[in-house]
Chains A and B, each alone.
Chain A
Amino acid sequence: MKHPTVLLIAAILLLPLAVRPAIATEIWIFAVFGLGLNLLLGYTGLLSFGQSTFFGSAAYVAGWLLKHYGINVFFALGIGVGVGAASAAVVGYLCVQRSGLYFIMLTFALNQMFYFIAYQWTTVTGGEDGMPGVPRPAFFGIDFKDPLTYYAFVSLLFLLSLWVMKRIVESPLGKILQAIRENEVRAEAVGYHVARFKLLAFVIGGAFSGLAGVLYAMLFGIVPLEAISFVTSGNVVFATLIGGSGSLYGPVIGSFVFIWLSESVSTLWARWPLLLGVAFVIVVLFLRGGVVEAWTRFWTWRSSKHKA
């Protein structure tokens, strides 16, 4: 864990050799999604079980504009970030009024509401069939239809997102959100309007989710109904917890494990979710810090053995 950036760049370069470009691309997209959730879950201590609301909304809106108006890729990404942030502002505003279990249920209930809108509004979203035909238009001669070009593009955006998130969690805001996680009453008493800071965390998390949503729609050329369903919300929570919600790199590792397992192992063994279940139980019972904690524990154990 000494040089995470070096490791990460190596992983980005080597990954397309190991798995199909689409899967490799999906890993980094899901990692961006996880980064957004982790600001809420890991840093602010808010378990949002409705992140697909922002992911899916952004995918639908930007996908629709790409499909019918032929907007360029960067504009689509901007729209996605905006829609993600705006939907998170609305959902967040309602959810931060409550805490604990009520908070979680509210994020879930609002997710279901958005899901049913997408399910019913078939003329736009295609309902259960999804919204196919999302293009990946070329930009100044860069052909994003080429899987490896798109992979490189997504990888760069992922690195940019990671850098932005790193700056955020190392800023006073990151410290304040963690203070809210540690002790909400005291955070309020020392002068932070807790609800407003939670809302800000929501909006930032929503922006990351939105970016991921648009990249996802362009990757597969379709916005499936699943993109806005609670399954997607659950998956990102799952992946983040497995990777380790306490650290910046946790969701990145979690995304890698989750997507790799779901795409690679699923072709070998239909009951692969069983593996995820086992991994989840192990994390919850023994490794609250996920893979990241396992890794640090392993290295402390090794260095202590070397000394002896």
Chain B
Amino acid sequence: MALLETQSLTKSFGALRAVNDVSLSIEAGSLHSIIGPNGAGKTTLFNLLTGTFPPTSGRIVLDGRDITGTPAARVAHLGLARSYQRTTVFPAFSLLDNVWVAAFATGKSWRGLIWRKTGRFPEVGERARQALADVGLLAKADVPAREISHGEQRQLELAIALAAAPRVLLLDEPAAGLSPDETRKMVSLVRTLKGRYTIVLIEHKIDIIMSVSDRISVMHFGSLIAEGTPQEIQKNAEVRRAYLGGVAA
């Protein structure tokens, strides 16, 4: 069953159709990748899904419920969490506080919001530690986020999304700017998350995509041009043109 669906989703910026009539269906528990050249509209699609801005037309359906136009802060509570292509963390916070804030947001209740000490939310603290442990950063829990390496910040980026205990995890190029070695670590990390979460993954590096994805959708100039299993995509002539033939195709 599809957990997350888009129906003819379109977003125009002036004359530019950044996302053009995109209909996607993400199966529960699957890892669904979205690939495409730079500027294909992948990140814009994520921004639409997470309510950063509303679509021009079309619908977004999460678990049978129409969530089109829901503002970003509400979307998080519906169970969609994202990571960013450009590292977007809380620099002065310790790693633990980074994930703590995300864990608290989607916690069971906000009772004690302005009075109880932050240390006295055991359930939130536990979830925050678990998220750090999942990405292998628990040993650095007390280090400020601005003092860790770029690779570790990418892991933290992911941990913040995990701390929300989401139903759908939207990962925007988790391996952006990583060395080959760090990339391998990130891939194995994503692999461990596979099955535990429904994941939508944007990625540039084709080899990563082919090895971890259940299904792949290909975007080009805002439109979906192909969808299928990794094997099918590899054989698809149109996809090859988009990637190899460039604009003229």
Contact = CB atoms under 8 A, between A and B. Distances in A.
A, B bound: yes
Interface of A: 167-168, 170-176, 178-179, 182-183, 185-194, 204
Given A188-B73, A189-B72, A172 B104 contact: yes
Interface stretch (B115-123, B175-183, B194-202): B115-123
A178 B93 contact: yes
B29 to A, nearest CB: 23
Contacts of A174: 118
B118 A172 contact: yes
Nearest to B121: A172
Interface string B91-110: 11100010011101110001
B116 A171 contact: yes
A175 B104 contact: yes
A170 B117 CA distance: 6
A14 to B, nearest CB: 31
Contacts of A179: 90, 93, 101
Contacts of A190: 76, 81, 101-102, 105-106, 160, 163-164
Contact of A182 (B92, B106, B121): B92
A172 B76 contact: no
Given A175-B97, A175-B100, A175-B104, A186 B118 contact: no
Nearest to A186: B88
A175 B72 contact: no
Given A183-B88, A189-B76, A189-B82, A175 B164 contact: no
Nearest to B52: A189
A204 B115 CA distance: 13
14 contacts: A170-B117, A171-B114, A171-B116, A172-B114, A172-B118, A175-B97, A182-B91, A183-B88, A183-B90, A186-B160, A187-B101, A188-B72, A189-B72, A191-B102
Given A170-B117, A171-B117, A171-B118, A191 B73 contact: yes
B105 A182 contact: no
A239 B89 CA distance: 31
Interface in B111-158: 112-118, 121
Contacts of A204: 114
Contacts of A193: 71, 73-74
A103 B43 CA distance: 29
A185 B185 CA distance: 27
Main secondary structure of the interface of B (DSSP, over half): loop
Nearest to B124: A172
A293 to B, nearest CB: 14
B148 to A, nearest CB: 15
Contacts of A175: 97, 100-101, 104, 118
A186 B72 contact: no
B50 interface: yes
- By DSSP majority rule, is chain A's interface helix, strand, loop, or mixed? helix
Contacts of B52: 189
A189 B50 CA distance: 8
A185 B160 CA distance: 13
B100 to A, nearest CB: 7
Highest count of chain A CB atoms <10 Å: which of B93, B112, B118: B118
B184 interface: no
Contacts of A191: 73-74, 76-77, 102, 105-106, 164
Contact of A183 (B77, B81, B89, B105): B89
Contacts of A183: 88-91
A192 B116 contact: no
A187 B156 CA distance: 15
Nearest to B76: A191
Contacts of B101: 175-176, 179, 187, 190
B62 to A, nearest CB: 15
Contacts of A170: 117-118
Nearest to B83: A189
Contacts of B121: 172
Nearest to A193: B73
Contacts of B112: 171-172
B236 to A, nearest CB: 33
Contacts of B106: 190-191
Interface centre among A175, A179, A189, A191 (most CB of B within 10 A): A189
Nearest to B105: A191
Given A178-B93, A183-B90, A167 B115 contact: yes
Nearest to A181: B92
A194 B114 contact: no
A188 B88 CA distance: 12
Given A179-B101, A183-B91, A192-B105, A173 B114 contact: yes
A251 B17 CA distance: 51
Given A171-B115, A179-B90, A193-B71, 14 more contacts: A170-B118, A172-B110, A172-B118, A173-B114, A175-B118, A187-B90, A189-B73, A189-B88, A190-B81, A190-B164, A191-B76, A191-B106, A192-B105, A193-B74
